[in-house]
Structure 1
Protein backbone atom coordinates (compact mmCIF):
# COMPACT_ATOMS: atom_id res chain seq x y z
CA UNK A 1 0.00 0.00 0.00
CA UNK A 2 2.91 2.37 0.51
CA UNK A 3 3.75 2.63 -3.18
CA UNK A 4 0.08 2.93 -4.13
CA UNK A 5 -0.57 5.70 -1.62
CA UNK A 6 2.49 7.67 -2.75
CA UNK A 7 1.57 7.21 -6.43
CA UNK A 8 -1.95 8.41 -5.67
CA UNK A 9 -0.67 11.49 -3.82
CA UNK A 10 1.56 12.28 -6.82
CA UNK A 11 -1.33 11.75 -9.24
CA UNK A 12 0.41 8.94 -11.13
CA UNK A 13 -1.51 5.96 -9.74
CA UNK A 14 -2.92 5.31 -13.22
CA UNK A 15 0.56 4.28 -14.44
CA UNK A 16 2.37 3.01 -11.31
CA UNK A 17 1.99 2.20 -7.63
CA UNK A 18 0.59 -1.31 -7.93
CA UNK A 19 1.47 -4.46 -9.87
CA UNK A 20 -1.28 -4.43 -12.48
CA UNK A 21 -1.47 -5.17 -16.19
CA UNK A 22 -0.53 -2.08 -18.19
CA UNK A 23 1.25 -0.31 -15.32
CA UNK A 24 4.95 0.43 -15.07
CA UNK A 25 6.84 -1.52 -12.43
CA UNK A 26 10.25 -1.06 -10.84
CA UNK A 27 11.13 -4.01 -8.67
CA UNK A 28 13.92 -6.31 -7.62
CA UNK A 29 13.76 -10.00 -6.69
CA UNK A 30 16.21 -11.25 -4.08
CA UNK A 31 17.08 -14.76 -2.91
CA UNK A 32 17.49 -13.60 0.70
CA UNK A 33 15.70 -11.19 3.01
CA UNK A 34 17.62 -7.86 3.05
CA UNK A 35 16.22 -7.11 6.51
CA UNK A 36 18.12 -10.13 7.77
CA UNK A 37 21.14 -9.88 5.47
CA UNK A 38 21.75 -6.46 3.88
CA UNK A 39 24.27 -7.97 1.45
CA UNK A 40 21.31 -9.58 -0.33
CA UNK A 41 20.82 -6.24 -2.12
CA UNK A 42 24.05 -6.77 -4.03
CA UNK A 43 22.91 -10.13 -5.42
CA UNK A 44 19.67 -9.61 -7.32
CA UNK A 45 17.90 -12.47 -9.09
CA UNK A 46 15.77 -10.20 -11.25
CA UNK A 47 15.36 -6.48 -11.91
CA UNK A 48 12.48 -4.74 -13.69
CA UNK A 49 12.54 -1.06 -14.62
CA UNK A 50 9.33 0.52 -15.96
CA UNK A 51 8.03 -2.99 -16.57
CA UNK A 52 11.04 -4.09 -18.61
CA UNK A 53 13.21 -6.94 -17.34
CA UNK A 54 16.94 -6.24 -17.11
CA UNK A 55 18.57 -9.41 -18.42
CA UNK A 56 21.91 -9.18 -16.60
CA UNK A 57 21.47 -6.96 -13.55
CA UNK A 58 24.64 -5.71 -11.91
CA UNK A 59 25.49 -3.49 -8.98
CA UNK A 60 27.67 -0.42 -9.31
CA UNK A 61 29.65 -0.16 -6.10
CA UNK A 62 29.87 3.24 -4.39
CA UNK A 63 33.01 3.43 -2.29
CA UNK A 64 31.52 5.85 0.25
CA UNK A 65 28.55 3.55 0.86
CA UNK A 66 30.82 0.52 1.20
CA UNK A 67 32.96 2.45 3.69
CA UNK A 68 29.92 3.26 5.82
CA UNK A 69 28.67 -0.34 5.71
CA UNK A 70 32.12 -1.68 6.60
CA UNK A 71 32.35 0.72 9.54
CA UNK A 72 28.96 -0.38 10.86
CA UNK A 73 29.55 -4.11 10.42
Structure 2
Protein backbone atom coordinates (compact mmCIF):
# COMPACT_ATOMS: atom_id res chain seq x y z
CA UNK A 1 0.00 0.00 0.00
CA UNK A 2 1.35 3.45 -0.93
CA UNK A 3 2.17 5.87 1.84
CA UNK A 4 -0.65 8.30 2.56
CA UNK A 5 0.04 11.83 1.37
CA UNK A 6 0.64 14.31 4.16
CA UNK A 7 -2.11 16.82 4.62
CA UNK A 8 -1.72 20.48 3.74
CA UNK A 9 -1.32 21.71 7.30
CA UNK A 10 1.44 19.19 8.07
CA UNK A 11 3.30 20.11 4.89
CA UNK A 12 2.94 23.82 5.56
CA UNK A 13 4.23 23.44 9.12
CA UNK A 14 7.27 21.52 7.86
CA UNK A 15 7.86 24.18 5.21
CA UNK A 16 7.79 26.90 7.87
CA UNK A 17 10.31 24.95 9.96
CA UNK A 18 12.60 24.64 6.94
CA UNK A 19 12.39 28.36 6.20
CA UNK A 20 13.23 29.20 9.81
CA UNK A 21 16.23 26.85 9.72
CA UNK A 22 17.52 28.34 6.48
CA UNK A 23 17.01 31.91 7.70
CA UNK A 24 18.98 31.08 10.85
CA UNK A 25 22.06 30.62 8.67
CA UNK A 26 23.85 28.23 11.01
CA UNK A 27 23.52 25.07 8.92
CA UNK A 28 26.26 23.44 6.91
CA UNK A 29 26.07 24.02 3.17
CA UNK A 30 25.06 20.42 2.40
CA UNK A 31 22.25 20.50 4.97
CA UNK A 32 21.07 23.87 3.67
CA UNK A 33 20.92 22.57 0.10
CA UNK A 34 19.02 19.45 1.19
CA UNK A 35 16.51 21.54 3.16
CA UNK A 36 16.13 23.95 0.26
CA UNK A 37 15.28 21.07 -2.09
CA UNK A 38 12.80 19.64 0.42
CA UNK A 39 11.25 23.07 0.88
CA UNK A 40 10.82 23.58 -2.86
CA UNK A 41 9.14 20.18 -3.15
CA UNK A 42 6.81 20.97 -0.26
CA UNK A 43 6.04 24.38 -1.72
CA UNK A 44 5.04 22.81 -5.02
CA UNK A 45 2.87 20.20 -3.28
CA UNK A 46 1.14 22.86 -1.16
CA UNK A 47 0.53 25.02 -4.21
CA UNK A 48 -1.00 22.03 -6.03
CA UNK A 49 -3.28 21.27 -3.09
CA UNK A 50 -4.39 24.91 -2.93
CA UNK A 51 -5.09 24.94 -6.66
CA UNK A 52 -7.12 21.72 -6.34
CA UNK A 53 -9.13 23.25 -3.49
CA UNK A 54 -9.71 26.39 -5.55
CA UNK A 55 -10.95 24.28 -8.45
CA UNK A 56 -13.32 22.36 -6.17
CA UNK A 57 -14.72 25.63 -4.85
CA UNK A 58 -15.03 27.00 -8.36
CA UNK A 59 -16.90 23.87 -9.46
CA UNK A 60 -19.20 24.14 -6.46
CA UNK A 61 -19.97 27.80 -7.16
CA UNK A 62 -20.72 27.01 -10.80
CA UNK A 63 -23.47 24.72 -9.53
CA UNK A 64 -25.47 27.65 -8.18
CA UNK A 65 -23.79 28.76 -4.98
CA UNK A 66 -22.60 32.33 -4.47
CA UNK A 67 -18.86 33.05 -4.76
CA UNK A 68 -16.78 34.02 -1.75
CA UNK A 69 -16.27 37.69 -1.00
CA UNK A 70 -12.48 38.14 -1.34
CA UNK A 71 -12.23 40.82 1.36
CA UNK A 72 -14.17 38.76 3.89
CA UNK A 73 -12.26 35.60 3.03
CA UNK A 74 -8.92 37.41 3.24
CA UNK A 75 -9.81 38.79 6.68
CA UNK A 76 -10.75 35.33 7.93
CA UNK A 77 -7.54 33.76 6.64
CA UNK A 78 -5.28 36.36 8.26
CA UNK A 79 -6.92 36.09 11.70
Relative to the length of structure 1, the TM-score reads 0.22
Say which structure, 1 or 2, has more relative contact order (CA 8 Å, 6+ apart). 2
Which structure has the bigger radius of gyration?
2
Relative to the length of structure 2, the TM-score reads 0.22
Bigger strand fraction: 1
